[in-house]
Amino acid sequence: MATAGCAVDPPDAGAAAPAWHSLGADQALQALAAGAHGLDSRQARERLARHGPNRLAPARRRGPVLRLLRQFHNILLYIMVAAAAITAVLGHGVDTAVLLGAVVVNALIGFVQEGKAESAMDAIRSLLAPRAVVRRDGQRREIEAAQLVPGDIVFLASGDRVPADLRLLEARELRVDESALTGESVPAEKDTAAAAPDAPLAERFGMAYSGTLVVSGTARGVVVATGAATELGHINRMVGAVASLATPLMRQMARFGQLLAGAILLLAAGTWLLGTAALGHPPAEMFMMVVALAASAIPEGLPAVMTITLALGVQRMARRKAIVRRLPAVEALGSVSVICTDKTGTLTRNEMTVQRLVCGGHVVDVGGIGYAPVGNLSRDGRHVDASANPALAMAVRTGLLCNDATLHEAEGIWRVDGDPTEGALLVLARKAGLAGESGAAGWPRLDAIPFESEHRLMATWHRDPAGAPWILVKGAPERVIDLCATEWRAHGELPVDVDWWRRMATDTAAQGLRVLALACKPAAPAGARLGWDDVRSGYVMLGLVGIIDPPREEAAQAVRECHRAGIRVKMITGDHAETAKAIGAQLGLGLGKPAVTGSEIALMDDAALRRIAWDIDVFARASPEHKLRLVQALQARGAVVAMTGDGVNDAPALKRADVGVAMGLKGTEAAKEAADIVLADDNFATLATAVREGRGVYDNIRKFILFMLPTNGGEALVVVSAILFGLTLPLTPAQVLWINMVTSSTLGLALAFEPAEPGLMARPPRPPSERLLSGFFVWRVLFVSVLMMAATLGLFLLELHRGTPLDTARTIAVNAVVAAEMLYLLNSRSILAPAFSPGAGRGNPMVWLTIAACVALQLAFTYLPLLQRVFASTALDLQQWARVLAAGLLVFALAELEKWAIRARRSRAAMAPAQG
């Protein structure tokens, strides 16, 4: 059976494909046994049969039935099914239906959310070009891209998607957008030169890779890899091989559910054996008591409250422009201890900006960022008037005229059509006072030589308002400086100081700026058209411009906020090391440390990479493998990692990370499908805000557990105490179910709406190994459980001693439990802060709504004849209600006293080292 693609016709099955980017064009053709005129039909058929079609093999998928059944393999759902079985035994059909419905809803949520890898690989496959223009049988024809084979000659034009990996044979003004593979912020300028064998993908200028987009120019290349053997196929295999990790909360809940289920079963079995064997109770009677015990202990509301809490987090994040695709990621984001972020568009504005202009022997600083033409030119802090400086004015005008981009404003937003670097020169002209069309007025363009990678410059021919001819040049500094004989200084033209200009170009580049040189010649072309012979010498050096994609102002603040929260931020980009280091320094990343490149990462073993990944904050020229290895290395150090990305090359790392975050504006579909969260505004500050929301979600889940377990525990202790001491059961199984239904469906839900507490981002991230039931939590659960048991059982026994009928005493006990839970809800709004601290009554109206609903339900339970018949309840008088309220207030007061004691102890412990 044919494979899904191959890189070459190897001499034997074990031969490795050569590094095509390091071979010359003729060498590549020879290695492929191909000619410059392409293959004939017979050769193409043979190679297609041997190598398979040029497509990515679809992933193996589980069928929908198996995927659905797997969703029920969850300990919490087992507990809910057990609760449903108990209610069915008791004949409570409505309760059984509600519990089973909750089981089905939770399973369906998981079913819909599964399939991350499959969706991501579908998105990668969609990048493949459907058609290709090739030379077959000596003729140029269009075929399906799936029919391409190694050795085919392919033609590319502007707007084409590259159909396979190509070694370029010819390239004319070819620029290819490879950002999806490399992370580069500007299109790559292509040529036919061979690259070094160890050159990173972003510097293989003689190659065009499958799935990338031709921005401009034309080319001819030979197919060297198809299908799974392409760079795109390599990433596709990586995505399929990467295993997704469960979120920290899901891992904790799995352990918690197992422990809780085991504890409930042991308690129920032990109680039944004790009651029948030791105390002599009839087995049938003990069975009903054990049913009541199990019903009181099972947290039926936990999965539902978790889902609602996470869903509310999704809504809050969506309002902040963070779109959550997978529900558990809401809380996982709050657990993050390391954020690995892309640079372009996430930390930066993705708007190239001129920041430095070397002209007339001076360095001019350019204010403002982005495409909005707001800012001025200054030198040593003093404003510079371009109109009073001929050299500066001519340099700026050259950048404006030797330019094919356009700058326009719509609804207050400035945009550039064309090359973003050229757009930055247009913005510079407006800042210098050469506004738009007026700057070009009187300087009509007569001819132009577009940018070509071979010559690394662009030239235009103009006539000035006086009718004099000018040839203007813009390009790479080393190329333009060599064309110049003189330079323009404030006091006239002087012989060009080549060494000085080269030093200034090097100094500008060392600051992470992309450098362009500007020059002019007051002359006309030798012929009727502008040709390369006119651009060989005799120019006047005007200046150098330093351009950068500046950091977002809010990103710097967000990085500082993350650092305060104990979250490490690491920048991983495909850009140049100097550029990455310069941007990192402006954001407070990697200060005093080097930037590590992908080629250096490739030489490290896993142990060395774990050390470097933790210590270094800026990584440049990173490939998909490097990003994936960095995420794995950080996870091996115990970090919970969030990874941001926008390209196909980011998909493996996004999938592997604990939380994958894709960019919504410029992100590829492959990145979005592999991610858990999509940022609608591509802004790192939005991610920092989402982390805060995630921490708030986890806090609310912990608060609910601290509310739920003591209330369930108190009910269970009431039943256990009655069995142990041979007392009349204070709560019947039906009454226990009523309490659970009332408190789970009303009171517990209120905690899902709690706003984030102050100081949330001043805490360090919680360790991934932290248990939900810490020693403090166990103490709190036991303390409050005993309080509720003592208050309920004590009041029940007091009522029996006063001669109160059994049904009325049980009604008082039920209301005492619910009153204690209503007041304990106020305790639970904060784990340690006082219940009535400033602002405690505000921020969550659901607390008071649920308490009001609970009061109404208890009044119905107590006075409604229908419910009196079902639950054997009776009406109460005011004195009895007063005793119920007193029992609840006792629990509330002692719970607040416990919180005060813990706060005082921690305050003393914090002060002790300072005093010492």
Catalytic residues: 342
H or E element that contains 133: strand 131-136
H or E element that contains 485: strand 484-489
> In this structure, which long-range contacts are made by residues 499-507, counting pairs with CB atoms below 8 Å and at least 24 apart in sequence?
501/358, 501/477, 501/541, 501/544, 502/477, 502/478, 504/358, 504/363, 504/544, 505/477, 505/478, 505/481, 505/544
Query: Which residues have CB under 8 Å from 649's CB, separation 6+?
Result: 180, 181, 182, 183, 235, 574, 623, 624, 627
Q: Which of 157, 159, 72 is nearest to 114 (CA)?
A: 72
Burial class for 658, CB neighbours closer than 10 Å (0-12, 13-18, 19+): buried
CA distance 267 to 284: 17
CA distance 109 to 305: 14
DSSP state of 39: B
Which alpha helices (DSSP H) does 52-92 contain, by range?
64-70, 75-89
Residue 594 CA to its chain's centroid (Å): 25
CA distance 539 to 471: 9
Which is it for strands 165-177 and 139-144: parallel, antiparallel or unpaired? unpaired
Under 8 Å between Cβ of 211 and 199: no
Q: Which of 351, 347, 393 is nearest to 369 (CA)?
A: 351
For 870, the 3-state DSSP assignment is helix
CA distances from 84 to 87, 148, 173, 767 (A): 5, 59, 70, 35
| CA angle in degrees (0–180, nearest 5) for 229-230-235 | 95
Q: Which of 318, 269, 310 is nearest to 289 (CA)?
A: 269
Q: Which of 13, 48, 53, 8 is nearest to 27 (CA)?
A: 8
DSSP state of 676: S
| CA angle in degrees (0–180, nearest 5) for 321-688-637 | 130
Tokens at 539, concatenated = 């120019």
For 592, the 3-state DSSP assignment is coil
Question: Position of tokens 């700057």?
Answer: 439
For 542, the 3-state DSSP assignment is strand
The values of phi and psi at residue 321, to 5°, are: 75, 25
> In this structure, which long-range contacts are made by residues 58-65, counting pairs with CB atoms below 8 Å and at least 24 apart in sequence?
58/121, 58/125, 59/117, 59/118, 59/121, 59/240, 61/115, 61/118, 64/111
Under 8 Å between Cβ of 602 and 626: yes
Burial class for 722, CB neighbours closer than 10 Å (0-12, 13-18, 19+): buried
Query: Which residues have CB under 8 Å from 836's CB, separation 6+?
Result: 826
DSSP state of 747: I
H or E element that contains 721: helix 684-724
- Dihedral of CA atoms 386, 388, 394, 398 in degrees, nearest 10, equals 30
DSSP letters of 755-790?
PPPTTGGGSPPPPTT--SS-HHHHHHHHHHHHHHHH
Under 8 Å between Cβ of 85 and 101: no
